[in-house]
Amino acid sequence: MKQYLLGIDYGTGGGKACIVDTAGKVLAYAFREYPIIIEKPGWSEHDPQLYWKVARATIRECIEKSGVAPEDIEGVAVSSALPNLVMVDGDGHPLALAYNLMDRRAQEEVTWLKQHLGAERMFALTGNPVDDHPMLVNLLWEKRHRPEVFRKIRYALTADGFITMKLTGKATVNVGSAAFYGVAWDVREHRFSEEALKEVGLPLDLFPPVFSCEDIVGEVSEEAALATGLRAGVPVCAGAVDFCVSCVASGVIAEGDIQMNLGTCGNFGIVHRSTDFLPQMLVCPHAVDSRRTYVTIPTTTTGGQLIRYVRDMLSQVEVEMERLLGVSAYELLNLEAQKVPPGSEGLIALPYFMGERTPLWDPHARGVLFGLSLSHGKGHYVRAFMEGVAYALYHNFELIREAGWKINLPIIFNEGGAQSRLWRQIITDVFAVPTVFLKNRTGAPYGDAILAGVACGVLPDFGVAKQWAEYIDPLEPSLENHELYREYYLLYRRLYEHLKDDFVSLATLRDKRSR
C-alpha cells in the first residue's frame, strides 16, 4: 500500500499545506493568504476562523491535485509562526481575534513583570528575554483590559494547537511552541513553573497538556474528516514551531547547522544542545529530539513583509502588470533593485516597522529611511530594505560568533524572500560567508510532513531530511562589497543609538493623540 504524509503550516501572512510521499517527493502544495489586522498602532492580529477555513481549503486542494486517496494518508502535523495566541472557550470557539508575532500592545504588562518577577529570573527560567511577545504577556493584557473575554477562556492555544484541536478534538501544545508562552515556562524541564504562574495570577488549567513534538496526540475526528476530505482516524502528531520544521525541510538537524528564512519576519536559526542560552536571542526546542535539542532563532520583526509593504502600498503599476502579464510584482521590484549598486547610493533603512526583536528588543523602534534624496527611486527603497534586513540579521550573527558556538557553513537559505538571488547575495556579502539555496522550497509544511512520518513510524528517523535536501546556487561573498557594507552597517548601528530615545518620545506623542 502506498503511504503519504500531510503537513500544514501557518505563517504571519498565510497558511499552506503539502502532501509528500515516503521518498520525499512533493505531490501537491497549496497556499492561501489571510489579512493581517491592525486595528490600532502596535496591534497585529488574525481572524482565527480563517485558520480553519484555510486548512479545509488547502487540504482539499492538495488531495485533489495529488490524486492521493485520503485513506493512504498516514500522518498529519501542523506548525505555526510563533508567538501567536488563540483564546478559545469550553466549546473550542475563538473568543477574540488571534494575536500574531508582530503584536506590540502589552508594554505596561512587560514593565509590571520586570518589577514583580525580574528580567533575570524570567530569563533563567525561560531562556528568552522578556518582551511583549510571549503569550503569557498577552494573557495578562487580556486579564487587565478585557476581563469579560479573559473570564471565558478555557484554553490559551497556539495557532498550530488550535488547528490540531480542530482536527482531533483535543487541546494540546508541543514543547517547541510552548516555549513561546514565556514568563513562567521552564524551557529546560518543558513544563510551567506553578510558583511563577501563581505570582503573575494565571491558573495552570488555562493551558493545554504538553507533548514532545514527535508524539502522536490524537486522530482526525469524523467531523474534521467531513470538513477536510481526510479519512477519520489518521494519526496527528503534536507539531512544532514553523521555523524548526522548515529547518527539518532543509536538512538542518545537526548541531551547528544554520538556516535562514526571509518570510514575513527575517530570521535564521542555529541548532545546538547547549542550555547556556544567549540573553539577547529567542530559543525553543527543535522538532528533532525535541526534549534535548534547541534552535536559537535571531529574528528581525519585519523581513519579507517590507517587500510586501512596497508591493501593496507603492506598486500599483507592478501589481497591474502581474495581473495582465503574469509576471510577479515581486520579480519586477527585484529587477528595479538590481539596478542599484551596493549601499543603495547612500540610502540606509532601519527596518523596524513593527518594533524590533533580537537583539534590540525595542517595541518602540520604527522604520527609517536615512539619506533620502531626489535621486532615489523605488529600486533604491527596495534594495535599502533588503540591506537593512541583512544588517539586522548580521548584528545577531556577530553575537553568536563572539559566543564561540559551533557554526557549520554554508548558511542554507530556504523560504520567502530568499527566492531573490539579489537578496541572497546581499546577505552573503554582509555576512562574508558562503551560502546555498535549498532546491525544494516547500518549506515548513514539508518539514511537518517529515515530522508526521517519523512520529507515525512511516519514516525511520530524521536522517531522511539530510538525504532529501538538495542545495543549489552556491554564492561566495565579495570581500570588496563586505568592506563597503561594513561601513554602512556601523552607520546603521549608530543611527539606531541616536534615535532610540526619540522612538520612545514618538510613541508617547502617538499614544497621547490616540486617546
Mean pLDDT of 71-97: 97
Tell me the residue ranges of DSSP E strands in 374-460: 411-416, 435-438
The verdict on residue 408 lying in a domain is: yes
| Residue where the block lists cell 536615512 | 370
**What is the rounded CA–CA span in Å between residue 239 and residue 271?**
18
Establish if 343 belongs to a structural domain. Answer: yes
Q: Is 202 helix (H, G, I), strand (E, B) or coil?
A: coil
pLDDT at 130: 85
Binning pLDDT at 50, 70 and 90, where does residue 2 land? confident
CA distances in angstroms from 512 to 41, 104, 499, listed in the order given: 12, 17, 20
Mean per-residue pLDDT, 276-285: 94
Looking up cell 483535543, which residue turns up?
Answer: 170
pLDDT digits (tens, 9 = 90+) for 457-474: 999 999 999 999 999 999
Structural domain harbouring 433: 300-438+473-514
Query: What is the average per-residue pLDDT within 346-366?
Result: 95
The SS3 assignment for 465 reads helix
Instruction: Determine the 3-state secondary structure of 17 from DSSP.
Output: strand
The amino acid that residue 60 corresponds to is R
8 A C-beta contact, residue 32 and residue 25 = no
pLDDT score recorded for residue 415: 79
Rounded Cα–Cα distance for residues 43 and 355 (Å): 11
pLDDT-derived band at 264, boundaries 50, 70, 90:
confident
Report the CATH number at residue 492.
3.30.420.40
DSSP 179: G
Counted domains in the chain: 1
322 in any annotated domain: yes
Per-residue pLDDT, averaged over 223-248, amounts to 97
3-state SS, residue 47: coil
Give the confidence band of 515 by pLDDT, cuts at 50, 70, 90: low
The candidate with the shortest Cα–Cα distance to 231, out of 389, 76, 12, 114, is: 76
Q: Are strands 4-10 and 14-21 parallel, antiparallel or unpaired?
A: antiparallel
Question: Is residue 276 a part of any domain in this protein?
Answer: no
14 in any annotated domain? no
Of 219, 222, 251, 221, the residue nearest 237 (C-alpha): 219
CA distance 192 to 121: 14
pLDDT at 299 over 90: yes
Which whole number is the average pLDDT over 132-140? 88
Query: Is position 1 within any domain?
Result: no
- 154: cell is 478555557
What are the start-end ranges of the H helices in 276-434? Answer: 304-314, 316-325, 329-338, 378-403, 421-431
Cα(510)–Cα(494) distance, rounded to whole angstroms?
24
Instruction: State how far the Cα of 176 lies from the Cα of 287, in Å rounded to an integer.
Output: 7
| H helices present in 234-277, as ranges | 242-249
Each residue of 10-49: pLDDT tens digit?
Answer: 998 899 999 999 999 999 999 999 999 999 988 999 999 9
Residue 416 has pLDDT above 90, yes or no: no
Residue 201, in any domain of the structure: no
For residues 242 and 80, the answer to whether their CB atoms sit within 8 Å is yes
Q: Cβ contacts of residue 497 below 8 Å, gap of 6+?
A: none
End-to-end CA distance of the chain: 63
Cα separation, 80 vs 398, whole angstroms: 28
Opening angle at CA 159, ends 141 and 275, nearest 5? 80
Nearest of 59, 2, 5, 3 to residue 248 by alpha carbon: 5
At 132 the pLDDT is 63
Q: Which of 88, 98, 109 is nearest to 200 (CA)?
A: 109
CA dihedral 271, 272, 277, 281 (to 10 degrees): -10
Letter for the amino acid at 241?
V
The CB density around residue 491, as the number of other CB atoms within 10 Å, is 13
Asked if residue 64 is part of any domain, the answer here is: no
Counting Cα atoms < 13 Å in the Cβ hemisphere of 421 gives 8
User: To the nearest whole number, what is the mean pLDDT of the chain?
Assistant: 96
d(CA 20, CA 249): 12
pLDDT classification of 171: cutoffs 50, 70, 90: very high
Cis peptide before 359 (omega within 30 of 0): yes
Given 3-state DSSP classes, what are the helix, strand and coil percentages for the chain, each rounded to the nearest 5? 45, 20, 35
- Residue 66 — pLDDT band, cuts 50, 70, 90? very high
